[in-house]
Structure 1
Amino acid sequence: MSSQKWAMQYINGEWKKGSSEKTVENINPYTNETITTIPSANAEDLNEAYQAAEDARSNWEGLPPAEVEGYFDKLITVMKDRKSEIIDWLTKEAGSTQVKAQVEFEAAMAITKEASSFPTRMTGQILPSNTPGKENRVYRAPKGVVGIIGPWNFPFHLAMRSAAPALATGNTIVIKPASDTPVTSGLLIADLMEEAGFPKGTVNVVVGRGSEIGDEFVTHPSAKLISFTGSTEVGSHIGELAGKHIKDTALELGGNNAMLVLDDADIEKAVEAGTFGNFLHQGQICMSLNRIIIHENIHDKFVDAFREKVEGLKAGNPEDQDTVIGPLINKGAVERLQDEIQKTKDQGAELITGGNVNGNVLEPTLFTHVTNDMPAAKNEMFGPVAVIIKVKNEEEAIQVANDTPYGLSGSVFTENIERGVKVAKQVKTGMIHVNDQSVNDEAHVAFGGEKESGLGRFGGQWALDKFTTVKWIGVMDGYREFPF
C-alpha cells in the first residue's frame, strides 16, 4: 500500500481525502515524530460511509455461508502474509513492545478465525405452540450496519474483535479509529480486507475528531449497533446517546482489576503472574492489574520478590526485543500518571521503586503501604504502576477487591483451586482467573464486565448473539378459530 493511503479515508471501496479542514496528527509515542498527517472526515464523509454500508448490506447479507467464509479464509492468509508489517505498525503507532505486538497479532488472528465459523452458526429454532396447528419459528438475522469505535491501546485486535464478528454475521461496518492510532485501529484493517476482496461498502473507515463527528457517528440513523471499547466516561456518553435513539450498544469500558494473593499462594508464581498482568503494554490495558491484595502473612516476602522482579524490567525503545516497558501513548498520559503518583505519595504510600520519566517512558513503579482510597488504588491508572494492599484475611481481601465501581477482570492465587473458585465467585467482576493474571482474551469465551466496566459480551456465541437479532414467525397449518 502506498504511504499516501495512510492519510486517507476508506469509503465505499475507495481511498479518498477527508473533507474537513481539520487534521489528525499520527505521532510515534516513543520518538514523538509525526508518522503522517490525516485530513479529517467531516459529517459529509461520515454520511457517505454509512450510506455505502447501508447500500452494501442486502447483497452482503444474502451471500451463501461458504462465500463469506471464503472472504475470511483470504483475510486470514493476508494477515499471516503481512504479520511483520502489522507488528511494525503496532510498535511505531501504539508504542507496543515486541512481546505485546506479538500477543496482539495472535489475539486478532484468533478472533478472525473464530468469526469465520459464524456464517454456518447463524442458527434458528422451531418451538412448539400452545395453539393447535401452529409452530413457532425463530430466525436469526444481522442487525444491519454496525458502527465501531476503535481504541488506541490494543488497536488492531480490539477493532478487529468487533469488525470480524459483525461482518461474519452479515452486517456491514463503519469504523471510527482512535485518533492516536488511526492506522492500526482502522485504516490497516480496511487495507487488509480490501486485499482479501471484501466487496465495496462492506467495510468503511472514517478518521476524524470526536468533537467533529463523534456524536453523529453514534446517532446516525443507519447505525443499528454501536460497539465501543474505551473509557467509562466516554462509554457512558455513548450509551446515553444510543439510548436516546433506541440503539443497541456493546460497551467494553474501564477496569480496576485486583489480584488476590491468599495466604497459601505460591509467592514466586504469583510474582511472575503479577508482573505480566501489571506491566504488559505499560499497563495500558483495561484488564491490567491495578491492585495486588496480599495476605499479611506473606506480604513482606511477596513485596521483596516483586520489587526485585520489577527492577529487572527493561524500559525504553519498543523496537528492542528485550524491552518490556515502552512509551505511554502521549505526553498527556505521562503527566496524568505523574500527578496520580505524587498524590498517592502525599497520602502516605511508600514508593519503593520507579517513578522516573524519560520522554514518554515511565519506569515501572511500585507502591506499598497503600489503602484502597488512595488515587493509585482508587483510580484506573492505565500505566506501569503497581500498588500493593495488605489485608488481614480472605474476607477483607474480597471486600477490598469489590470496593470499586468497576468489575472487568481479576485474579486469585492459592494452592487450593476450589478455594480459589469460591473466592472468585465472590468478586463482582465479569471475568476472573485462578492462579493466573487478569489479562486474558480467548476468542471463543465470553468477554466483558460488570458495573461500570461495560455492557454485553464479546467472544464466541456471545459475540454472535450481540451482532445479530432474532425474529419470531408463527406459522399456522390451516386456520384457527377466534372468539369474535
Structure 2
Amino acid sequence: MNINTNFTGQYITGIWRDGRAHKALVDTNPYDGAVLATIALANADDLDEAYRAAQQAQRAWATALPADRAAVMLRAAGLVHANRTLLVNWLIRESGSTRMKAEMEVGAVHASMLVAASFPGRVTGRILPVDVPGKESRVYREPLGVVGVISPWNWPMHLSNRSIGPALALGNAVVLKPADDTPVTGGLLLASIYEAAGLPPGLLNVVIGEIPDIGDAFTLHPVPKFISFTGSTRVGRHIGMLAMTGPTLKRLGLELGGNAPLVVLDDADVERAAHAAVVGRFLHQGQICMSTNRIIVDEKVHDSFVDAFLKRVRMLKAGDPNDPDTVIGPLINRRQLQFAQERIEAARAAGQRQVFGAPAQGQVLPPQVFVDVPNDSELAQAEHFAPIAPVIKAADEEQALLFANQTEFGLSSAVFTKDEARGVRFARRIEAGMTHVNDITPNDDPNNMFGGEKNSGLGRFNSDWIIAELTTDHWVSVQHGPRPYPF
C-alpha cells in the first residue's frame, strides 16, 4: 500500500492541512542544501485542536479490543517493511544519515512496531488481599489518556516512534511535535504510515511550529497526561519545570544528554576495543545520545590502543551520505558544525594533542582525534554530537572507574576486558542506566530497558518499562456484603 509523501503542513484530526501561523518552514538536505518540503507552520490554535481531537478520539480507542489495536501496529510494521527504500532515502536526505545508519533506523522502527503489537495483550491488573470481610480489591491498569511527544532530529523516525507506538498500542492518543530539522522523518511520514495502517482519525496528530508559538504551550496544555521528551538536558529541565508548575501536573519521560565512557582495561583485547570505539564514536557522525563521548584507556595498553584506533579511523570515508561506503556524513545544520569547530579550536588552545583531523567540507566534518586529554577538560566533559574523539589515559582500573563516573550524565557506558566477571563487577559500579561489557555504548533493543541516571533523564523506555510508564493503576474495590462501620 502506498503512503502519502506530499508534505506541506500539519496532520490534525486525520486531515492533512496547512498550519495557521502564516509562517513556513523550509526543510532542506543538510548535505547539499536541496529543498525537500515547505511546511505551513502551526500556531497555538492548531495545537489546541490537536490535543482536543486526541482527547476525544482516545475515549473510544481505550475500549477497542486488544486484537484490534495490535492489528494496527502489525499493519504499520508491514508498511514500514514495504516502504523501506522510501523511508531510508528520506532519512538520508533529511537527517544526513548515512545509508548504513538509515537502514539501521528503519529496522529499529519496524522492530519497535512489532514489539508494540504485543503490548495490548501484556497489560494486566491484579486482585489483592484485603483485611475487610466481604471486600474484593482489584487494581486495573488503564491507559493514561493523551501523550505529548517531543522528538529530536538525530534518529528522528525511531525516537518518535519509540513513544508513539507503545502509547497507541496501550490505548492512548498522541500529539507529536517533531524537531524542526526533521519534520518529515520525525513526524509526517509516521503519521502517513499509521493512517494507511487504519489508525482512527485523531489518535495521532503531528504539529510543526516555532518555539514562540507552540513550544511551552505544548507542555502547559491541560489535556496531555504525559510528556515524552528526547533532547538536551537544558531543554529537558525546562520542560520538567513546566510539567510540574503548570495548571495540571504531568508525568514525564525525559531522555536527555549523555557523556558515555568506553573503558579499556589492561587485559582487554585491544583490537576489539578499538573497533568498538570507532563504531561507537563515529556512527551517525557522533550525533547519538549514547555515542562513545570519552574513551578511557588503561596506561598499560594506551599506546597500542591508540595505534589500533587511528588505523581504523584513517579508513573511514567522509562525504556523501547516499554512497553505501560513507561512514561520516554531514552534521545536521551549520549551528552544530560551528559548535564542533569551536570545541576543536578550544581543545587545541588548551594544549590537548590532536593526532588526526581535517577541515570540514560543507557540513561534513571528518573525524577529529585527541589524546592526552584531561578528564576534567571541556573536551572530555562536553557532549559533542560531532565526530570528535577524546582519548583519556588512566593509571589503573580504579582511576578508570573514577574518570567514568566524573560526569553529570549517566546514560550509556561500556567496558572492555577479557575477564567477563571483572567486566560485570566494573559495569555495576558505573553510575549509568546502561553498561555494556565488550560492546559499543550505543545499544537500543525494544525488548530491553532503556534509560539513564543523573542528568541523563527520568523514566524508562521499551518493553515492560514503557508499559508501566504509559499506563496507570486504578484501584477499584467491591464490598459484597454490609460492612460494619465505626459509627
TM-score, normalising length: structure 1? 0.99
Q: Which amino acid aligns with 1:168?
A: A
2:418 equivalent in structure 1: 415
Contact 1:257–1:408, Cα closer than 8 Å, also in 2: yes
1:131 Cα offset (Å): 1.7
2:403 equivalent in structure 1: 400
Choose which of 370, 389, 393 in structure 2 pairs with 1:367.
370
Q: Deviations over 1:254-288 (max 9, x none)?
A: 10000010000000100111111000000000000
1:476 and 2:479 correspond: yes
1:355 Cα offset (Å): 4.0
Q: Which runs of 5+ in 1 are unaligned?
A: none
Q: Deviations over 1:283-302 (max 9, x none)?
A: 00000000000000000000
1:211 Cα offset (Å): 2.1
Distance in 2 (alpha carbons) for counterparts of 1:94 and 1:15: 23
Q: Deviations over 1:215-266 (max 9, x none)?
A: 0011111111010111111111000000113111110011000001000000
Q: Which amino acid aligns with 2:39?
A: I
Distance in 1 (alpha carbons) for counterparts of 2:212 and 2:303: 49
1:77 Cα offset (Å): 1.1
2:112 equivalent in structure 1: 111
Distance in 1 (alpha carbons) for counterparts of 2:429 and 2:358: 34
Contact 1:5–1:15, Cα closer than 8 Å, also in 2: no
Distance in 2 (alpha carbons) for counterparts of 1:121 and 1:479: 35
2:49 equivalent in structure 1: 48
1:25 Cα offset (Å): 1.8
Q: Deviations over 1:430-474 (max 9, x none)?
A: 001000010000101110000100000000000101110010112
Contact 1:414–1:435, Cα closer than 8 Å, also in 2: yes
1:268 equivalent in structure 2: 271
1:132 Cα offset (Å): 2.3
Distance in 1 (alpha carbons) for counterparts of 2:5 and 2:480: 61
Distance in 1 (alpha carbons) for counterparts of 2:187 and 2:298: 44
Contact 1:18–1:42, Cα closer than 8 Å, also in 2: yes
1:163 equivalent in structure 2: 164
Q: Which amino acid aligns with 2:104?
A: V
Q: How does 1:454-465 map to 2 (within 5 A)?
A: 454-465=457-468
Contact 2:4–2:192, Cα closer than 8 Å, also in 1: no
Q: Deviations over 1:293-352 (max 9, x none)?
A: 000000000001101111110000000000000000001111100001111111111110
Choose which of 305, 309, 314 in structure 2 pairs with 1:311.
314
Q: Which runs of 5+ in 2 are unaligned?
A: none
Contact 1:29–1:328, Cα closer than 8 Å, also in 2: yes
Q: Which amino acid aligns with 1:387?
A: P
Distance in 2 (alpha carbons) for counterparts of 1:461 and 1:187: 28
1:3 Cα offset (Å): 7.9
Q: Which amino acid aligns with 1:64?
A: L
Contact 1:91–1:97, Cα closer than 8 Å, also in 2: yes
Distance in 2 (alpha carbons) for counterparts of 1:465 and 1:106: 25
Contact 1:348–1:369, Cα closer than 8 Å, also in 2: no
Distance 1:424 1:364, change over 3 A: same
Choose which of 387, 390, 394 in structure 2 pairs with 1:387.
390
Q: How does 1:130-209 map to 2 (within 5 A)?
A: 130-209=131-210
Q: What SS does the aligned partner of 1:317 have? A: coil
1:4 Cα offset (Å): 7.6
Identity fraction in percent: 49
2:470 equivalent in structure 1: 467
Q: What SS does the aligned partner of 1:15 have? A: strand
Contact 2:356–2:369, Cα closer than 8 Å, also in 1: yes
Distance in 1 (alpha carbons) for counterparts of 2:211 and 2:405: 33
Choose which of 420, 445, 458 in structure 1 pairs with 2:448.
445
Q: What SS does the aligned partner of 1:113 have? A: helix
Distance in 2 (alpha carbons) for counterparts of 1:3 and 1:133: 57
Q: Which amino acid aligns with 1:385?
A: I
Q: How does 1:254-265 map to 2 (within 5 A)?
A: 254-265=257-268
Q: What SS does the aligned partner of 2:293 have? A: strand
2:331 equivalent in structure 1: 328
1:345 and 2:345 correspond: no
1:356 equivalent in structure 2: 359
Contact 2:3–2:196, Cα closer than 8 Å, also in 1: no
Q: How does 1:280-299 map to 2 (within 5 A)?
A: 280-299=283-302
Distance in 2 (alpha carbons) for counterparts of 1:470 and 1:265: 46
Distance in 1 (alpha carbons) for counterparts of 2:355 and 2:4: 45
Query: Bigger shift: 18-27 or 362-371?
Result: 18-27
Aligned structure 1 segments of 4 or more residues deviating by more than 2 angstroms: 1-5
Distance in 1 (alpha carbons) for counterparts of 2:158 and 2:426: 31
Distance in 2 (alpha carbons) for counterparts of 1:416 and 1:210: 50
Distance in 1 (alpha carbons) for counterparts of 2:6 and 2:213: 22
1:32 Cα offset (Å): 1.6
Q: Deviations over 1:94-147 (max 9, x none)?
A: 000011111111111111111100111111000101222222100001000111
1:224 equivalent in structure 2: 225
Q: What SS does the aligned partner of 1:6 have? A: coil
Q: What SS does the aligned partner of 2:225 have? A: strand
Distance in 1 (alpha carbons) for counterparts of 2:3 and 2:275: 43
Q: What SS does the aligned partner of 1:286 have? A: coil
Distance in 2 (alpha carbons) for counterparts of 1:400 and 1:69: 45
1:424 and 2:405 correspond: no
Provide the alpha-carbon RMSD of the alignment. 1.1
1:435 and 2:435 correspond: no
